[in-house]
Amino acid sequence: MTSDFLLFLVLAVVAVASALSMLLSRNAVYSALFLVINFATIAVFFLLLGSPFLAMVQVTVYAGAIMVLFLFIIMILGTEQLRQDETLPWQRPIAIFLGVVLLVETGFIIYSLGFQQGILPDFRSFASGYASPADIGILLFNEYLLPFEITSVLLLVAIIGAIVLTKDQKS
């Protein structure tokens, strides 16, 4: 049992627990804060998988920018506590059943089909590479230059869309 594995195990427990707390918490602000914990653990997983650049992007963009935006909107609207009145009967048991079905399905695909067809090599460990930010940058600006530029257009459209949607209609 290596230290990598121990770290993975502890963080996996934290990630699943924070995701479940996000799901079950009555207050939307607590949900958002639990999700921040979850994103932080995923950033550490990225570090364990040898991609420090993505780990930093995860912390700054996801845990930083996106979750602050969420908290901002929750507090603007003042909808932390929403009454959970059941309009659809049996919604919760059916949802839990479907969730279990989904988990079994993915587990089946990963563990039997994946290993049989050689998509996943059985118990091979990771390549011990280190993806430096410079390497990612070179790949991004050479081979993926067009998608990168299209992404900038997408962000511009999202900015304009957000402003247009929230603009006061009366003026």
Partner 1 sequence: MPVSYYFALSAILFTIGALGVLIRRNAIVIFMSIELMLNAANLSFVAFSQLHDTLRGQVLVFFVITVAAAEVAVGLALIVTIFKTKQSINVDVLNELKQ
> Shortest Cβ distance from residue 122 to partner 1 (Å)?
8
**Other CB atoms within 10 A of residue 33 CB:** 18
> Shortest Cβ distance from residue 151 to partner 1 (Å)?
5
Reading the block at residue 86, the tokens are: 């059941």
3-state secondary structure of 116: helix
> Shortest Cβ distance from residue 104 to partner 1 (Å)?
10
- Listed residue (45, 74, 71) closest to 58, CA to CA: 45
Reading the block at residue 59, the tokens are: 């912390």
Q: Which is nearer to partner 1, 116 or 158 (CB)?
A: 158
